[in-house]
Structure 1
Amino acid sequence: MRRLLPALPLALLLAVTACAGGEEQEEAAGQTEETDAGAGGDAAPDADTEADALRAAGGFVASLQAVDGEAGCALIDPAAQNVLVEAHGGADCAEAFPAYAESLPDAEGAEVGDAVMGTDLDGDTPIATVTLVFPGEDDPGVLEMRQDSDDQWLATRLPGTTLGGA
């Protein structure tokens, strides 16, 4: 019994040290995960950013419903405008826009659905992938919008077109 008593404090000391070290490692791992999330990867966008993106998507849908090429093209980035012109003809985006609106299942009844917020690969540019709901269609369209350097939201990918834009 006397031989066990001196070993008992040493065993307790080792057990306490091992447990404390594990907690420190877990805390360090948690801090790394928080740092990574804050670096842009999966950081949650603020509510204002999402609201601004949805407002811009709503403006795009309103331009579809009104078949207003000037208003619609003001919400489309230049590369996506080129895709629209190539697909639907016309001298420019505003001229091609009515044919684009007519090519959609029911542009007049289109509505803005949910938005999924993210960023580009660098984590610098906010991106909103907005579902556009067309009445009677099982496969809703997707409108991708990016915030540009002037904090304006522009459509970079349009439902019913091939990939275009940034």
Structure 2
Amino acid sequence: MRRTLLCSLILTLALTACEGGEEAPADDTAGGSAAEGPDVSAEAEAEAAESARTVAEGFVAALVAGDGEAGCAFTDEGAQSAITGQSENARDCAAAFPDYLAELPGAQDTEGFEVGEVTVSTDLDGETLIASVELLHPEEAPGVLEVREGEDGQWRATRVPGAALGGA
């Protein structure tokens, strides 16, 4: 009897140990999540995607309206510098916006700009959420708008399509 009890106890422990390795991770960030950071929740990812979409929609509305003040309000300092770099004479982002827009693929028909897919990932440290928002146009491929949260808590574009790297 003791021998049977001892064997069943050993068998139970062995089976329990084997089953423990096959359990699925409890948190929502493991496997399949676009963000790779260890402490990035699915909720944070969804909020980042929504914030990025809002910034992209505002930026596209500014493109359609040709409104440099509004367009630059959706960008951080680095992206504003990249936009300003598109103009030979402008001293600030808003003044350079028409030159930037003129060089952007699809600018001949600004009404055609739309916001496409939003993809959320993290920086190399896995701590900062970065959203890439595809800008769409029926005739051209304008590119991707990179959006992230600044130190002030506001989401802004850190890189804009058609311009040299700005920020990030």
Identify which of 15, 25, 39 aligns with 1:19: 15
Q: Deviations over 1:71-117 (max 9, x none)?
A: 11111111111122223331111111111111112241211011012
Q: Percent identity?
A: 46
Q: Is 1:102 matched up with 2:105?
A: no
Q: What residue number does 1:154 align with?
A: 156
Question: Quick one: structure 1 residues 59 and 36, their matched pair in 2 at CA, closer, same or farther if it must change by over 3 Å?
Answer: closer
Q: State whether residues 78 and 166 of structure 2, in contact with CA within 8 Å, keep that contact through their aligned partners in structure 1.
A: yes
Q: Distance in 1 between matches of 2:36 and 2:54?
A: 26
Q: Spell out, residue by residue over 1:119-144, the C-alpha distance to the aligned partner (whole angstroms, 9 max, x if none).
A: 3334443321000001212x451000
After TM superposition, give the deviation of residue 48 of structure 1 in Å.
3.7
State which drifts further: 40-49 or 73-82.
40-49
Q: Distance in 2 between matches of 1:57 and 1:39?
A: 23
Question: 1:51 corresponds to which letter in structure 2?
Answer: E
Compute the TM-score of the two structures, normalised by the length of structure 1.
0.79
Q: CA 1:19/1:13 → structure 2, altered by over 3 Å: closer, same or farther?
A: same
**Partner in structure 2 of residue 119 of structure 1:** 122
Match of 1:74 in 2: 73
- CA–CA distance in 2 between the matches of 1:36 and 1:75? 29
Change over 3 Å in CA distance of 1:35–1:132 after alignment to 2: closer
Query: Please, what is the CA RMSD of the aligned residues?
Result: 2.7
Q: Once the two structures are superposed, what CA deviation does each residue of 1:31-70 show, in whole Å capped at 9, x if it has no partner?
A: 5xx3975993464235343222211110000111111111
**SS in structure 2 at match of 1:117:** strand
CA distance, structure 2, for counterparts of residue 131 and residue 140 of structure 1: 8
Q: Is 2:166 the partner of 1:164?
A: yes
Query: Is 1:40 aligned to 2:42, yes or no?
Result: no
Who wins on radius of gyration, i.e. which is larger? 1
CA gap of 1:20–1:135, structure 2 versus 1, over 3 A, is same
The answer for unaligned runs of 5 or more in structure 1 is none
1:127–1:145 Cα contact (<8 Å) kept: yes
Alpha-carbon offset, residue 162 of structure 1: 2.3
Residue correspondence of structure 1 range 123-142 to structure 2 within 5 A: 123-137=126-140, 139-142=141-144
Q: Work out the number of aligned pairs and report it.
A: 158
Measure the CA separation in 2 of the matches of 1:79 and 1:36: 30
> How does the TM-score come out when normalised to structure 2?
0.79
1:59 is aligned to 58
Q: Which segments of 5 or more consecutive residues in structure 2 lack a partner in the other structure?
A: none
Deviates further, 38-47 or 111-120: 38-47
